[in-house]
Structure 1
């Protein structure tokens, strides 16, 4: 099979599987250059794999004593271009390490994680929230653990989307030690038929 990328006019015409061809064939050997039959994706990815995968490392943070005016903090973002997939199914996975030390033994400490999506530079929309709460019976106890979540979207609109994980709220009124490190994001997408 021949692969064509955006370049000369001849290559663009060959890549455009829908241009004047009902059977979506596009080269001299009648081989389809775009198995997903989405010609608009040719400039970005003319012959994508049936499954797309992206991964990245984010930025850690620490949460000190909080008050009523907590400012959301981004832990990382990841971009995936599903413009070539028919009714894409997208799965986003997030994981991180949380180190906690109870300095007071009075109130539990809570983090609220949020996942947001921005497609084709339009308005950011929320995808979901996940809560992490911890407390100990004794002061000065410590724990290092992992926190992770997954989010799945079925039949979403094709496009170039940025997924961002943020801590959107936190309750740490006693100033317990709370460090979020090694955030990792991955996203996988496939066409649904």
Structure 2
């Protein structure tokens, strides 16, 4: 019985060694593939509303900030930041609703738009309506420090007052080691 257990242990050790060699020796990464680097993940929430009635063609007196997210990329080499924005739009009266979202980046005291603007436009049914809208932006510009990304409503047509928007935001920053 003792001899059987020792043989079994040797077989198990042999299998572990073979598996280890397969995973780490035989299947090692290709030298031409990218090397893994550091990554950061940040999440945030935001909201705005209720918004006033805004007729078509009327310029907004100011933009409406929905939320912001800050990520510190100082420890990353040549970072790329993927921003993901998911919105829930609540409309108390079913009418044409058009919202244009723009993302701004603040770094070292400077604020600049990131990527293109994204427009939600839909005729919602009468009564309380809730719908969702999402988009992603990839920011490859370097910044030495904390980067704050703010999403704002920069243009809108709201044919009924009381629209509110809530947002879930994520920022994933990864190193580009090439």
| TM-score between both structures, scaled by the size of structure 1 | 0.63
2:69 maps to what in 1? 78
- Structure 1 moving runs of 4+ over 6 Å: none
Higher Cα Rg, which structure:
2
Contact 1:85 1:158 in 2 (8 A): no
Q: Does 1:184 align with 2:147?
A: no
Which of 1 and 2 has higher RCO (CA within 8 Å, sep 6+)?
2
| TM-score between both structures, scaled by the size of structure 2 | 0.68
CA shift for structure 1 position 177: 4.7
- Map of 1:40-119 to 2, 5 A cutoff? 50-67=38-55, 68-70=58-60, 71-103=62-94, 108-119=96-107
1:147 maps to what in 2? 133
Q: Is there any run of 5+ residues in structure 2 with no aligned partner, and where?
A: 1-36
* Structure with greater helix share of residues: 2
Q: Is there any run of 5+ residues in structure 1 with no aligned partner, and where?
A: 1-48
Give the distance between the partners of 1:175 and 1:89, measured in 2 at CA: 39
Equivalenced residue count is 136
Give the distance between the partners of 2:164 and 2:122, measured in 1 at CA: 13
1:164 maps to what in 2? 150
Give the distance between the partners of 2:51 and 2:89, measured in 1 at CA: 11
Give the distance between the partners of 1:188 and 1:180, measured in 2 at CA: 23
Contact 1:86 1:158 in 2 (8 A): no
Q: Secondary structure at the match of 1:59?
A: strand
